[in-house]
A and B are shown apart, each in its own frame.
Chain A
Amino acid sequence: MKKSLFINAGIIALSLGLAFYPLGGYQEGIVILLCINCVAAMGVSILTGFTGIFTLGHAAYMALGAYTTAILTVRYGVHWLPALLAGGLIAILVAWLIGVPTLRLTGDYYAIASIGLGEAIRLILENWQSFTRGARGFPGIDPYTTRGLAVAMFAVLTILMFNLLDSRLGRELRASRDDDVAASLLGFNTPHSRMKALLISAFYCGIAGGLLGGYMSFIQPSMFDMMKSTELTAVVVFGGLGSMTGTLLGSAAITLIMEYFRDISQYRMLIYGLLLVVIMVFRPEGLLGNREIWDFLPHRSGTHSFGKGRRS
């Protein structure tokens, strides 16, 4: 109980720092991007890290969020806040449609389907010219994603995420990840558990997409391709499966490195690849393994976060 307060206070402190530390325009942009990427990565993390379902198509949910928000604000003059939430809800709806047939069974069914989903959504966006303007992209989005909004969204969604993981839902997801049979014999409807994780996950990515549109003022289908999807999953693996702080750290590290090397953009992917290889060689479990960052502090009497046991 006390730990929950500490975590929430820590997130708020971090967010206040991000929101009010004086920064130049370029650095502000990086903070916004950082927040957006962290939100999307948390979405993938609850599904892949905490429920054990791999995905290679989560950029599709970002695309749905981005296009829904953009179309609603530009074409229909909707205020950005309801538009942003609508983006998240559309992502949830599509996730549900994909989840019903694929999450019944354990295994990699969802991963395979997600590749198809990612490509299908991108192709629809590219070819539905009259509605999405196709591959030319969708310009003229009101730049509503200020540093304040991005950080506020990051703060709220991070607090909700950590709270959810430290609750009956968190235990349910981890149980169905660790042993599907045991979980169902403890009374969990495990296909439902997986569905809950997917819907939350899609919502986070939808919101991240909507924020991205509001930051860039311009979106196009190629921003949400297979590359982006694999990047999202790679970040989560990089941070450590089953570690939410690892996901945030990994996402921050990758975002900053990619931004730092923007000048030599041809070689960025080289560095990105090298970084992933180095991590996988030296820390195959990811940056933090399956532990949270405060579990590395000298140990008090309490448990590890989210019910992880000590090893001795």
Chain B
Amino acid sequence: MENKIVLELSNVDMRFGGVLALDNVSFQVHEGSLTGIIGPNGAGKTTVYNIISGVYSPTSGGVRFYGRDITALRAYQINRLGIARTFQNLRLFARSSALENVMTAAQNRCREERPAEGYFYGFVESALHLGRWGSVERKLRQTAMGLLDRVGLADRAEQAAGTLPYGMQRRLEIARALALGPKLLMLDEPAAGMNPEEVFALNDLITGIHKDFNLTTLVIEHHMDLIMRICPHIICLNFGAKIAEGTKDDIQNDPEVLAAYLGGDDAEDGEAV
């Protein structure tokens, strides 16, 4: 049903000194899909994100985005191609207001590597507050307010991001990532630290965003249930290697996945881990 390949990792290795954090990982993400990446703690999920988004460059292997090799690009360049992400341990601008956080992203809203028309003005316009400054600032504010409203934070717009409750900070990060107008959204443990009620609301938020913006989305979680509920396609990592990929049913019945999560019978597997 899905067509174009948005993201393709091929044979990615990532080595930190003596530790092999990713071992020959390959997968593809199709346009419009909602893909989950699961795996126990330390499986290498966040490392995958850091490689895609350019925080690290892989020891070997390649990453392609819409067919273009982005392995060697720097983080800001990759971002400008249209990849936005959130962070497992929040990276909001804590002293800035929620609105400012989202506006900061919105001003870099992308259209093929450059800030999109209507979201940009130049240095002289900045210094003199003339020209496009007024209209663009208004538009940035509108866009940001719209997104804050979408994630249910409109009434907290003026509050410093660092003083928001934890669950709201997670949603603020999602709004900030969306403000970039990405083609690929990568959420890193969006449910971490949330209570069951909040997780339930997050379900709806993620599936809603995926549908409304028709946005290719990747979600990392180690809470199996969230992923199982929302992601039609799932990739499972363990000890840096991809051990399974497929639909919810494939994953749930995969012996290696069960072993990774429940602890397999070592003698039977012949693996001493």
A interface residues, Cβ below 8 angstroms from B: 1, 4, 8, 160, 163-164, 166-172, 174-175, 178-179, 181-182, 184-190, 290, 303-304, 306-312
Q: Which residue of B lies closest to A179 (CB)?
A: B91
Given contacts A167-B133, A168-B121, contact A185 B160 (CB under 8 A): no
Query: CA separation between A8 and B108, bound complex, in Å?
Result: 27
Given contacts A181-B75, A308-B100, 18 further A-B contacts (CB under 8 A): A163-B129, A164-B127, A172-B107, A184-B75, A184-B79, A186-B105, A186-B176, A188-B108, A190-B76, A290-B95, A307-B99, A307-B100, A307-B104, A308-B97, A309-B100, A309-B159, A309-B163, A311-B163
Q: Which residue of A lies closest to B125 (CB)?
A: A167
B126 contacts A163, CB within 8 Å? yes
Query: CA separation between A303 and B97, bound complex, in Å?
Result: 8
Cβ–Cβ < 8 Å partners of B161 in chain A: 309
Set B126, B138, B176: member contacting A168, Cβ < 8 A: B126
Query: CA separation between A114 and B95, bound complex, in Å?
Result: 28
B93 close to A (CB within 8 Å): yes
Contact with A along B96-120 (1 / 0, CB 8 A): 1111100111011010000000001
B163 contacts A163, CB within 8 Å? no
Cβ–Cβ < 8 Å partners of B103 in chain A: 171, 307
Set A172, A182, A308: member contacting B95, Cβ < 8 A: A308
Given contacts A182-B87, A184-B75, contact A309 B53 (CB under 8 A): no
26 A/B residue pairs, CB under 8 Å, sorted by A: A1-B134, A160-B127, A164-B126, A167-B121, A167-B127, A168-B120, A168-B136, A169-B123, A174-B93, A181-B55, A185-B76, A185-B79, A186-B79, A187-B110, A187-B180, A188-B76, A188-B108, A307-B96, A307-B100, A308-B95, A309-B96, A309-B97, A309-B100, A309-B158, A309-B163, A310-B159
Cβ–Cβ < 8 Å partners of B120 in chain A: 168
- Which of A160, A166, A167, A311 has the most CB atoms of chain B within a 10 A radius of its CB? A167
Query: CA separation between A179 and B101, bound complex, in Å?
Result: 12
| Shortest distance from the beta carbon of A171 to any chain B beta carbon, whole Å | 5
Contact residues, B143-199 vs A (CB, 8 A): 158-163, 176, 180
A171 contacts B80, CB within 8 Å? no
Q: How large is the interface on B (under 10, 10 to 19, 20 to 34, 35 or more residues)?
A: 35 or more
| Shortest distance from the beta carbon of A301 to any chain B beta carbon, whole Å | 8
B158 contacts A171, CB within 8 Å? no
Cβ–Cβ < 8 Å partners of A310 in chain B: 97, 158-160
Pairs of residues from A and B, 10 with the lowest C-beta to C-beta distance, nearest first: A309-B160, A307-B100, A309-B97, A167-B126, A187-B108, A182-B91, A187-B79, A184-B75, A178-B93, A171-B104
Cβ–Cβ < 8 Å partners of B262 in chain A: none
Contact residues, B12-62 vs A (CB, 8 A): 53-55
| Shortest distance from the beta carbon of A299 to any chain B beta carbon, whole Å | 9
B interface residues, Cβ below 8 angstroms from A: 53-55, 74-76, 79-80, 84-85, 87, 91-100, 103-105, 107-108, 110, 120-121, 123, 125-129, 133-134, 136-138, 158-163, 176, 180
Query: CA separation between A171 and B180, bound complex, in Å?
Result: 15
B95 contacts A178, CB within 8 Å? yes
Query: CA separation between A83 and B128, bound complex, in Å?
Result: 23
Query: CA separation between A171 and B136, bound complex, in Å?
Result: 14
| Shortest distance from the beta carbon of A240 to any chain B beta carbon, whole Å | 13
Q: Which residue of B lies closest to A291 (CB)?
A: B95
B76 contacts A187, CB within 8 Å? yes
Query: CA separation between A166 and B129, bound complex, in Å?
Result: 9
| Shortest distance from the beta carbon of A99 to any chain B beta carbon, whole Å | 17
- Which of B100, B103, B134 has the most CB atoms of chain A within a 10 A radius of its CB? B100
Q: Which residue of B lies closest to A165 (CB)?
A: B126
Given contacts A169-B123, A179-B91, A303-B97, contact A184 B74 (CB under 8 A): yes
Cβ–Cβ < 8 Å partners of B80 in chain A: 187
| Shortest distance from the beta carbon of A158 to any chain B beta carbon, whole Å | 12
Query: CA separation between A307 and B103, bound complex, in Å?
Result: 9
Set B53, B85, B160: member contacting A311, Cβ < 8 A: B160
Q: Which residue of A lies closest to B179 (CB)?
A: A186
B160 contacts A184, CB within 8 Å? no
Cβ–Cβ < 8 Å partners of B125 in chain A: 167
Cβ–Cβ < 8 Å partners of B104 in chain A: 171-172, 174-175, 186, 307
Query: CA separation between A175 and B161, bound complex, in Å?
Result: 13
Given contacts A303-B158, A310-B160, A312-B159, contact A189 B129 (CB under 8 A): no
Query: CA separation between A160 and B123, bound complex, in Å?
Result: 11
Query: CA separation between A217 and B150, bound complex, in Å?
Result: 62
